[in-house]
Amino acid sequence: MKFKEFSVLCLAMMVAVAAGCGDPSASNSSNETSSAPESGSGTGGGAPVAIEQEAVIAIPSPGESNEVAPSIGDPSAAPKGMEAVESVAVAPAVVPEAITIPETPAPVKTPAPVAEPAAAAPASVTLPVPAAAATEPGKTGDWTMWGGSPDRNMVSAATGVDLSFEAAEDAAEGKNIAWTATLGSQTYGNPIVAEGKVFVGTNNGGEYREAHKGDRGCLVCFNEADGKFLWQLTREKLPQGRVNDWPEQGICSTPCVENGRLYLATNRCELMCIDIEGFHDGENDGPYKDETDSEELDADIIWSLDMIEDLGVFPHNLATSSPVIHGDLIFLLTSNGVDEAHLEVPSPRAPCFIAVNKNTGELVWEDNSPALDSKAPAPFNNILHGQWGSPALGEVDGKMQVFMPGGDGVLYSYDAATGELVWWFDLNPKDSTWELGGRGTRNAIISTPVFVDNSVILAVGQDPEHGEGAGHLYRIDATKKGDVSPQIAGDDGAYADNSNSGQIWHVGGVDADGSITGEKNGLLFRRTISTVAVSDGLVYAPDLSGFLHCIDLKTGEKKWVFDTFAAVWGSPVVVDGRILMGDEDGEMVVLKAGPVLEELETKTFNSSIYSTPTIANGHMYVSDRSRLYAIKIQ
């Protein structure tokens, strides 16, 4: 299957909703027998797509000339809003397997590779530096948040990794499976491993709590050592229905854990702080004492911020953002969005981005730029649909910035301590248009920003229900100030190249004459809800259509493209020289990391994988649609 159009929406950071099924009666397993996996295409993965020599145009870096590089090709030859890339390393993204890309590309100028942003100056910071530095090459031990660290770069530093496992619903039937556990019937949350426990968001299909029957949003906690169920946070559905809380999607936010406390957004649009021990310790911690569920197997809520009641937020379809912590502040997108008719924003004054005191739950600063003060061009200067992305952090010139992907298609960067807007970048061509149902060329942002070497890497996308379309992937200089979009409006109202642009490189748009892809108006990069991984100078960027693009971090030159032949909703993880990525067919492809494409193997799971693998403490944790697998890899 190349791509499947879905009927529902739910996005957790990068995650959306799909119809699903599972076996809620299945029990947690470490020794039992089980039937063989029932799904997966059986194709053994995907196929490489040949890459011809590409054109790369350099963008000025700090300290260089502000002169903007010329565009490649003739934008007038492309459809409105989908012009050929302006400053880009281009490569085929959508060439069918039977089509060979032309050996000789159209002649273009190829200046020297782009210079990188200047290194951050060592200076005092307004908030404590995160435990994992933004430029850290990878992580070991616990995996305590979405992306593993505040920069959101999903690279594990684990070595000696053995991927000879065979997944099975029951551990005894597989190979190198430590344990498995039942989840709900649909799972879009990503596993988090912290302080001896594993946490994952899902729906109530597992029915762990007798008091709760039917549709609920759930966060389930298991013992890391053996998969024993410990406790569950259970939240009833909002009475407004699917416009605010889509049925059966559960909790899609990926939690963040620090010092015995867990933070996440619930399906009811609540930002919660939870004691990771639940009520096992016999204590009701925190100022919040009114838990409806307070038995040993229930969650112990420390504080809760109701973003609907307290902030006036109108979440479209579901609140899904995954929080990130810096110092005493926790950052989140509120998921404020449009009404059920997709025509108006019911709560334009409600915040889109918030910073909250992690100890008390009190609001420290807020911003609603995507609604009332959008930096997008009129008439699309508002929230386009929902806001399902998640924030990232990075230290620039001695100050911590928080990067917030707006529902208007603009990336906003703020001083993390004060909420002062530092810079913004429109990720869409200025002549792009938003149309209902994905028919237009303007896109929102669902992926999570990744901070690497004083720059941010981010792509645009839409609700998967909207289908395929042209996408754009950028590397953005995070050291600049103000409007750093590729183009700005002149005195006459016309758009012109921005001398202050933060664009380092861009991959995307369409191949108008087919000289690059072999297909007229072929897409160079498609819409995505996935988050990139950056390792050893290479960017691994999937699109929703199932193509994984390998791109040079410095130059934007595309090295290779791999086709999974299935939709990809999750994100790649790099570990021990390999790239791991799941797909909708229930398969996990294993590729060799590096500038030369090499497919190593494909693993098959029981059902669709809409999440991202987690590497922690010698194990890999994978959640398919209805089951969690703890896999021994060291």
Per-residue pLDDT of 552-599, as tens digits, reads 999 999 999 999 999 999 999 999 999 999 999 999 999 999 999 999
Q: Which helix (H) or strand (E) holds 370?
A: helix 369-372
Residue 125: pLDDT band (50, 70, 90) is: very low
Domains and CATH numbers, the chain: 47-632 (2.130.10.10)
Do residues 293 and 284 touch, judged by C-beta distance below 8 A?
Answer: no
Residue 5: pLDDT band (50, 70, 90) is: very low
Q: Is residue 290 predicted with pLDDT exceeding 50?
A: yes
In DSSP terms, 193 is beta-bridged to: 143, 198
- Give dist(CA 409, CA 109) in Å, integer: 30
Only one residue has tokens 């995507």, namely 370
The model's pLDDT over 409-420, given as tens digits with 9 standing for 90+, comes to: 999 999 999 999
Q: What are phi and psi of 450, to 5 degrees?
A: -120, 125
Residue 524: Cβ within 10 Å count? 28
Q: Pick the most confident of 4-8, 108-112, 353-357.
A: 353-357
From 167, 160, 161, select the one nearest 34 (Cα to Cα). Answer: 167
Q: Is residue 71 predicted with pLDDT exceeding 80?
A: no
- Give dist(CA 573, CA 147) in Å, integer: 9
Q: Is residue 49 predicted with pLDDT exceeding 90?
A: no
- Give dist(CA 335, CA 352) in Å, integer: 7
The model's pLDDT over 203-252, given as tens digits with 9 standing for 90+, comes to: 999 999 999 999 999 999 999 999 999 999 999 999 999 999 999 999 99
As a whole number, mean pLDDT of residues 610-628 equals 97
pLDDT of residue 138: 57
| Share of residues in the chain with pLDDT > 70 (%) | 78
From 598, 570, 435, select the one nearest 18 (Cα to Cα). Answer: 570
Bridge pairing between strands 177-182 and 627-632: antiparallel
Q: Is residue 177 predicted with pLDDT exceeding 50?
A: yes
pLDDT of residue 106: 34
pLDDT of residue 29: 56
pLDDT of residue 181: 98
Q: Is residue 547 predicted with pLDDT exceeding 90?
A: yes
Do residues 150 and 168 touch, judged by C-beta distance below 8 A?
Answer: no
Query: At 78, is the secondary structure helix, strand, or coil?
Result: coil
pLDDT of residue 67: 35
pLDDT of residue 13: 39
- Give dist(CA 24, CA 22) in Å, integer: 6
pLDDT of residue 541: 98
Q: Is residue 124 predicted with pLDDT exceeding 80?
A: no
- Give dist(CA 53, CA 555) in Å, integer: 13
Instruction: State CA 401 to chain mean position distance.
Output: 18
Q: Is residue 310 predicted with pLDDT exceeding 70?
A: yes
pLDDT of residue 154: 96
Q: Which is more confident, 27 or 415?
A: 415
Residue 139: pLDDT band (50, 70, 90) is: confident
As a whole number, mean pLDDT of residues 281-300 equals 91
Query: At 452, is the secondary structure helix, strand, or coil?
Result: strand
Residue 25: pLDDT band (50, 70, 90) is: very low
In DSSP terms, 222 is beta-bridged to: 198, 229
Do residues 580 and 588 touch, judged by C-beta distance below 8 A?
Answer: yes
Residue 112: Cβ within 10 Å count? 9
- Give dist(CA 143, CA 83) in Å, integer: 40
As a whole number, mean pLDDT of residues 308-321 equals 97
Structure tokens at 580: 């791991």
- Give dist(CA 265, CA 286) in Å, integer: 18
Do residues 527 and 470 touch, judged by C-beta distance below 8 A?
Answer: yes
pLDDT of residue 568: 97
Instruction: State CA 628 to chain mean position distance.
Output: 20
Going by the DSSP 8-state scheme, the letter that residue 227 receives in this structure is: -
Query: At 343, is the secondary structure helix, strand, or coil?
Result: coil
Q: Which is more confident, 10 or 475?
A: 475
Going by the DSSP 8-state scheme, the letter that residue 372 receives in this structure is: H
- Give dist(CA 608, CA 587) in Å, integer: 7
- Residues 6 or more apart in contact with residue 376 via CB below 8 angstroms: 370, 382, 408, 409, 410, 426, 428
Instruction: State CA 7 to chain mean position distance.
Output: 20
Q: Is residue 526 predicted with pLDDT exceeding 60?
A: yes
The model's pLDDT over 322-350, given as tens digits with 9 standing for 90+, comes to: 999 999 999 999 999 999 999 999 999 99
pLDDT of residue 28: 57
Bridge pairing between strands 47-49 and 558-563: antiparallel
As a whole number, mean pLDDT of residues 293-307 equals 96
- Give dist(CA 574, CA 209) in Å, integer: 36
Do residues 25 and 208 touch, judged by C-beta distance below 8 A?
Answer: no
Q: Is residue 134 predicted with pLDDT exceeding 70?
A: no
DSSP string over 236-276: EPPTTGGGTS-TT----PPPEEETTEEEEE-TTSEEEEEET
DSSP string over 397-446: TTEEEEEEE-TTSEEEEEETTT--EEEEEE-S-TT----GGGTSS--B--
Model pTM score = 0.81
